[in-house]
Amino acid sequence: MPVNICQQLNNANDLDKASYVSSLLSQMTLKEKIGQMSQFNNDDDNLERSIKMGNVGSVINEVNIDTINKLQSIATQESRLGIPLLIGRDVIHGFNVIFPIPLGQAAAWSTELVETCAKIAAIESSNNGINWTFAPMIDISRDPRWGRIAESLGEDPYLCSALGVAMVKGFQGKNLSDNTSIAACAKHFAGYGASESGRDYNTTNIPENELRNVYLPPFKAVADAGVSTFMASFSDLNGVPVTGNSWLLNDILRDEWSYNGLVVSDWESIPQLVTHGFCEDEKFAAFEACHAGIDMEMASKTYAVNLPLLIQESKISIKQIDTMVSRLLALKFDLGLFKNSFTDPNNREEHLNNAHLSIAKEAASKSCVLLKNNNQILPLCKTKISSMAVIGPLADDGYEQLGTWVFDANIDSSIACLQAIKNYVGDLVDVNYAKGLNTSRSNNQEGFKEATKIALTADVAVMIVGEEAILSGEAHCRSSINLPGCQEQLIDAIYKTGTPIVLVIMAGRPITLEKVLPNVDAVLFAWHPGTMGGPAITELLFGEACPSGKLPVTFPRNVGQIPLYYGQKNTGRPASDATFVDINSIEVRAPQTSLGMTSTHLDTHFSPLFPFGFGLSYTQFEYTNINVNMHSVSMGESVEISATLCNIGKIDAEEIVQLYIRDLVGSVTRPVKELKGFQRIYLSAGQSKNVVFNVHTDELAFYNRQMKLNTEPGLFNAWIGSNSATELKVGFGVILASE
């Protein structure tokens, strides 16, 4: 077999990246360059032939290790150049072992845990020959109707940035060329989470200042942390679809941020520029996407068909193409693919091993949020109850608890709650089970009879309800976000039996719970917890573990409140309890000015049902003594903000301590609260600790009217507490260094 060009370069020994890439580029034909810019789906009829001809730079969705090795061998040995392939896959929250959905992982508020979950996903997927994942998804998500909120890290720029960076570190490891590292992808750049009415793929209109202060920070953070790739969003941003948005992709990403990694389109988003009504045909779409700097086209063939023509007509220059192809080759170099693209099928550890499963259990446990616990009904004690009813459509379903994006999950290993509860209580407690409803969407109440029958004789009813996996995720949006089907009626029926109810909710988004809340004694919100959901929830229910998760997103009372998030602006007429008017108290023909004149709805309270950062524990934590080490901090220095945290309950537990600030006056208005720090602190019962946060004045910066990142001198408030509604506050000032 003749030695191909990559083999020659490899033999030339240890060329540095720049020399390798430019030598290779200098020997490529235009067709081969455009080939590198094309990602094929694995079901493409001409895949192998196209690879051989040098027309493919990447393959998406192939997970069979033998097939991947075969494709890599065609690429590296049978094509003229021998360039290996990027093998892409949506490894979103685990590969074979599934961790909680990203929104659930975010509820654990733990960068270490998120990094470890991503590391395990990277190990498992790279063992299969995958070298590129399309995660993390770091779209700020403030609309729970949007199905993709499940994939997100929540509503807050600070939390999302910290966890996004952790995920990138987990996927990419210390060195991208390590066998178990895979390239990460920051998506969907940018603003996708603002899809109007929470409907997927919908228009987004985001003022530049809001874009820079809220939606872009997580992307900037992962770019600075070295994420290898970015994905352009499907969405239309302020009238210019992102796939053709040169301002966002060139001016901001490349020029302002100096980002030099690869940018991939989303699935067929280049031809969709025509559907958007932004381009008259696919040729123009290829032109716009190429000018915007989309280096690789996912799934469609707009580039392959049109770029040669556009170059011939001098509408696109070879220089542009070379820059884009260089980025692609550089990534392949960084991944070590030129040295070795073969994955040894014999050199892989068992994926469902104890270490991976135990992290999956820890992640599920730490992501569960205790929303209610009347009279300390939880934790249950297996020696104090003699019978329990386990009820609900999600109680005995290992599949549904995995959530969205689990193409490669090992479903048989997923342990549902019913089995885990039975394993745990053994013969000590009589466990009866009734599904009540066939699915979470079912309106057929035939099963209620059986469910109420077992509840009537039980000491406690544990109801496991929520949303099936298919009700959230891409293109799975809902206009109402209550418990679907007849689940509310099922809860009502069990409530009428008089047996105390512990409600466990598995869902891909916040659920409106105002109606059911009064009828249940406890609520544990478990998101879609993944493979080890059952055991993790069981341990929490029985006090083998203590709930510590906190909401990464606000829970509204009803959909009419959306968008509702803690970092809102104050407005000129903020709502307050003092002026709140209940609709039922309004007199007939009351004068127009009688109603408080503040920013509220008449038919619902202005506050959320549960605020961002909220989550109970089996113990109680007390916060006192908030302090600043100086009342005025000079620009360029740090202020130390501290408070005493005391575990005043009877149980050793972890608390997520949160720091919020408010910039009281800004040249553009600032949110009423902004998260600026968090720490997971373990305290044994009775123990206390001084918790300290250091905040540099740079961390108080925001984009001003001139779109410049700047810290403005003036007064600030700082709060330390257990959620965003905390009132423990201290003030400090930022002064110019010369003052």
Toward ligand NOJ, which CB reaches closer, 473 or 671?
473
> If binding is defined by CB under 6 A, does position 134 make contact with ligand NOJ?
yes
Q: What are phi and psi of 363, to 5 degrees?
A: -65, -45
Q: How far apart, in Å, are the Cα atoms of 497 and each of 100, 364, 387, 492? A: 33, 31, 15, 9
- Residues touching ligand NOJ, count (CB under 6 A): 7
Residue nearest to ligand NOJ (CB): 134
Q: How far is the CB of 233 from ligand NOJ (least distance, A)?
A: 8
Sequence-distant contacts of 476-479: CB under 8 A, at least 24 apart: 476/147, 476/200, 476/404, 476/508, 477/145, 477/146, 477/147, 477/198, 477/199, 477/200, 478/145, 478/147, 478/198, 478/509, 479/145, 479/197, 479/198, 479/559
Restricted to residues 613-652, the positions that interact with ligand NOJ (CB under 6 A) are: none
Pairing of strands 638-647, 229-232: unpaired
Restricted to residues 86-115, the positions that interact with ligand NOJ (CB under 6 A) are: 90
Q: How far apart, in Å, are the Cα atoms of 671 and each of 210, 213, 572, 576, 688? A: 11, 10, 13, 16, 31
Toward ligand NOJ, which CB reaches closer, 128 or 213?
128
- In a 3-state reduction of DSSP, which class is residue 58? strand
> If binding is defined by CB under 6 A, does position 474 make contact with ligand NOJ?
yes
Restricted to residues 539-568, the positions that interact with ligand NOJ (CB under 6 A) are: none
Q: How far is the CB of 151 from ligand NOJ (least distance, A)?
A: 7
Toward ligand NOJ, which CB reaches closer, 234 or 566?
234
Residue 88: exposure state from Cβ atoms within 10 A (0-12, 13-18, ≥19): buried
Q: How far apart, in Å, are the Cα atoms of 506 and each of 97, 193, 516, 557? A: 18, 22, 15, 18
Token pair listed for 597: 């004149």
Toward ligand NOJ, which CB reaches closer, 90 or 674?
90
CA distance 173 to 398: 30
- Smallest CA-to-CA distance from 554 within 572, 568, 570 is with 568
Toward ligand NOJ, which CB reaches closer, 147 or 721?
147
Quick check: 569 and 666 in contact, CB under 8 A? no
> If binding is defined by CB under 6 A, does position 187 make contact with ligand NOJ?
yes
Encode 704-737 in three state secondary structure: CCCCCEECCCEEEEEEEECCCCCCCEEEEEEECC
Toward ligand NOJ, which CB reaches closer, 234 or 542?
234
Rounded to 5°, the CA angle 569-575-580 comes to 165
Toward ligand NOJ, which CB reaches closer, 243 or 442?
243
- In a 3-state reduction of DSSP, which class is residue 646? strand
E-strand ranges in 481-593 read 501-506, 522-525
Q: How far is the CB of 551 from ligand NOJ (least distance, A)?
A: 24
Q: Residue 34 CB: number of other CB atoms within 10 A?
A: 24
> If binding is defined by CB under 6 A, does position 405 make contact with ligand NOJ?
no
Q: How far is the CB of 717 from ligand NOJ (least distance, A)?
A: 38
Q: How far is the CB of 675 from ligand NOJ (least distance, A)?
A: 26
Q: How far is the CB of 91 from ligand NOJ (least distance, A)?
A: 10
Q: How far is the CB of 363 from ligand NOJ (least distance, A)?
A: 21
Q: How far is the CB of 241 from ligand NOJ (least distance, A)?
A: 14
> If binding is defined by CB under 6 A, does position 448 make contact with ligand NOJ?
no
Q: Residue 456 CB: number of other CB atoms within 10 A?
A: 14
Rounded to 5°, the CA angle 134-566-197 comes to 60
Q: How far is the CB of 189 from ligand NOJ (least distance, A)?
A: 11
Toward ligand NOJ, which CB reaches closer, 297 or 474?
474
Which of 90, 156, 236, 266 is the catalytic position? Answer: 266
Toward ligand NOJ, which CB reaches closer, 201 or 702?
201
Q: How far is the CB of 505 from ligand NOJ (least distance, A)?
A: 25
> If binding is defined by CB under 6 A, does position 408 make contact with ligand NOJ?
no
Toward ligand NOJ, which CB reaches closer, 189 or 693?
189
Torsion of Cα atoms, 603 then 608 then 610 then 611, to 10°: -170
Quick check: 620 and 645 in contact, CB under 8 A? no
Q: Does residue 108 have a cis peptide bond before it, meaning omega lies within 30 degrees of 0?
A: no
> If binding is defined by CB under 6 A, does position 297 make contact with ligand NOJ?
no
Toward ligand NOJ, which CB reaches closer, 60 or 321?
60
For 400-454, give the DSSP string: GGG-S--TT--GGGPPPHHHHHHHHHTTSSEEEEE-SSSSTT---GGGHHHHHHH
Among 40, 230, 259, 267, contact with ligand NOJ (rule: CB under 6 A): 267
Among 139, 155, 266, 467, contact with ligand NOJ (rule: CB under 6 A): 266
Which residues face 675 on adjacent strands? 660
CA distance 157 to 214: 6
Q: How far is the CB of 148 from ligand NOJ (least distance, A)?
A: 8
- In a 3-state reduction of DSSP, which class is residue 626? strand
CA distance 21 to 370: 53
Toward ligand NOJ, which CB reaches closer, 115 or 474?
474
In the chain, the largest separation of any two C-alpha atoms, in whole Å, equals 92
Draw the binding track, 223-262, toward ligand NOJ (x: CB under 6 A; -: no contact): -----------x----------------------------
Q: How far is the CB of 195 from ligand NOJ (least distance, A)?
A: 12
CA distance 216 to 709: 12
- Smallest CA-to-CA distance from 468 within 459, 458, 476 is with 476
Token pair listed for 224: 């600075």
Is 397 known to be catalytic? no
Restricted to residues 703-732, the positions that interact with ligand NOJ (CB under 6 A) are: none
Query: Could you give the residue numbers annotated as active site?
Result: 266
Binding-site ranges for ligand NOJ (CB under 6 A): 90, 134, 187, 234, 266-267, 474
